Structure 1
Amino acid sequence: MALLAHVTLLGQDFHTVSGMRFGFAQALTLFTALGVLFFLLEERYVRIHVMRPMVFGAAAVALPLPLWFNGVVLPVGHPLLKAHLWLAMVAYAIVGIAAIHAVMMVVVDRGLHRKNLERPNPVNPLRAVLQRNAPALVPLEHLLFRMLSVGFIVLSIALALGVVVAEGAGMGGLRVDHKTVFSVLAWATLLGLLLGRWLGGWRGRTAVRWTLWGFFMLSLAYVGSRFVAEAILHRLG
């Protein structure tokens, strides 16, 4: 029910009479909504219950953000443009969720190399609890690459639709700006990681680093710039 309410509020905020509303707050809300959905689906197959407070807590924090950060309303009329915008946001959310799993892999890997893992950690008991209850590393790694594959496919479709829409508008292709550049860099990073996994068996910290770089590029492509414009420059102005 909570997820349904989250999605309902998200849909109402995105769609307005004048067009579609976009901003870093809307992106984070979509990100956390998909994060909850993926978590509920994958929890049935992978022991990731330790992530429940983090996932649900992030969703609770992100949900009211659009009340303070309104974003910008884009006059979107063409259905392909709507699909492009939605898929781009969904791709960002999926890669972001994969980045969270990559961080969890680091926690699990460090836990496996700690000799005192079975004893309570008097210095940081929370870390010890997280490590003891973290999912197994191999299933988590498989889940990571499943998410990255889906995210790469969605991002590829979003970029292709962007080219089609730009060609139809007589722009001669995608406009070369920071969003396009960082989106293409993120796409290339994910492609390189998936090829490295397929051809070279990449895993572990190499996979984590490439995943985080891909997510960082996507963040710079949209959410980071919108955050600066809406939360920082707007306040200063």
Structure 2
Amino acid sequence: MQALPFATLALVLYMAAALWQGLSLLRRVSARPILVRMLATLGLLLHIPLVIKLLGQSPGFLPGFTTSITLFMAVAVNVVLVASLFKPVLNAGIALFPIAGVALIAAAGLPSESSARGLTPGILLHAVSSALAFATIAIAAAQAVLVGLQNQALRHHHIRGIVQSLPPLTTMERVLFELVWAGVLLLTLSIVSGFLFLDNLFAQHLAHKTVLSITAWLILATLLVGRYRFGWRGMRAVKWTLAGGVFLILAYFGSKFVLEILLGA
């Protein structure tokens, strides 16, 4: 299978889904969530076989940078599509869908290496929980950006445009904290399973990932405690969510990017 043409078509579908959802948010077109889900689902149906192909080219537990980010973005898109059936999170796709498509193009053109390792049930649990934690927190970060825009618009009495298209701020914040709660629980499972089932973390260049993941967990857990004890919300919640998301991105992809892309190691 030639990966690049399929990746290009997936990118087009993802971009079309993101564009329509973005234009509907700006009230330039009517909201059509079914159309957006259909376009993104078609993109995902092209995305998943390519991920499987890339993983098959570099078998092992620790895929390289481009394969890893493509795999994680496939999970993120899937989580957005499923969650959007129950919660108003489809707007997160405005950012996530194009990133997924670009990552897929990069992976199709630059297949990455993998560290060989057996896939035991414990390691599988760690891999799945890590992917789901990343996906959930990525969606929370996108949700936080929208909450921040909505908060600033309302503060300056700008009630047209995006603000009119979004659910009420209280609903947006509730969904944000639900996503953070789910992300923290999944990240907890990922960290605990990593300690239980992975050995020689320093030899595997995973020490940085562990430290950064724990830092992200502490930031997001602090946000939840602040919400419960002190009623944190608004821009404070936005900043803490984004900070946790940044640390998690660095944990999962930072060193892989430096070692494989910049240094060619």
TM-score range, shorter chain: 0.7 to 0.9
The alignment status of 1:140 with 2:172, answered yes or no, reads: yes
2:70 maps to what in 1?
29
Matches within 5 A, 1:44-83: 44-47=85-88, 52-77=93-118, 78-83=120-125
- Secondary structure of the residue aligned to 2:182 is helix
The alignment status of 1:217 with 2:247, answered yes or no, reads: yes
Q: Distance in 2 between matches of 1:232 and 1:17?
A: 20
Which segment is superposed worse, 12-21 or 76-85?
Answer: 12-21
Letter in 2 for 1:24: F
Return closer, same or farther for 1:162/1:113 CA change in 2, 3 Å cut-off: same
Q: Distance in 2 between matches of 1:5 and 1:143?
A: 29
Structure 1 gaps, min length 5: 119-128
Identity across aligned pairs (percent)?
Answer: 31
Cα distance, 1:140 vs structure 2: 1.5
Contact in 2 for aligned 1:31/1:92 (Cα 8 Å):
yes
Return closer, same or farther for 1:47/1:114 CA change in 2, 3 Å cut-off: farther
Letter in 1 for 2:166: A
- Secondary structure of the residue aligned to 1:20 is coil
Q: Distance in 2 between matches of 1:175 and 1:35?
A: 25
Q: Distance in 2 between matches of 1:215 and 1:26?
A: 20
Query: Scaled by the length of structure 1, what TM-score is found?
Result: 0.78
User: Structure 1, residues 190-235: CA drift from partner, whole Å, max 9, x if none?
Assistant: 221112222222211111111111111112212122122222223x
Letter in 2 for 1:70: P
Return closer, same or farther for 1:176/1:40 CA change in 2, 3 Å cut-off: closer
One of 82, 86, 92 as aligned partner of 2:128: 86
2:14 maps to what in 1?
none
Q: Which structure has the higher relative contact order (CA within 8 Å, separation 6+)?
A: 1
2:139 maps to what in 1?
97
Structure 2 gaps, min length 5: 1-41
Cα distance, 1:51 vs structure 2: 5.0
Which segment is superposed worse, 69-78 or 95-104?
Answer: 69-78
Return closer, same or farther for 1:103/1:83 CA change in 2, 3 Å cut-off: same
- Secondary structure of the residue aligned to 2:117 is coil
Query: Scaled by the length of structure 2, what TM-score is found?
Result: 0.71
Cα distance, 1:131 vs structure 2: 4.0
Cα distance, 1:143 vs structure 2: 1.3
Cα distance, 1:170 vs structure 2: 8.0
Contact in 2 for aligned 1:155/1:187 (Cα 8 Å):
yes
May I ask how many residue pairs the two structures share in their alignment?
A: 221
Return closer, same or farther for 1:62/1:43 CA change in 2, 3 Å cut-off: same
Q: Distance in 2 between matches of 1:47 and 1:95?
A: 15
Return closer, same or farther for 1:115/1:151 CA change in 2, 3 Å cut-off: closer
Contact in 2 for aligned 1:14/1:21 (Cα 8 Å):
no
- Secondary structure of the residue aligned to 1:74 is coil
Letter in 1 for 2:150: V
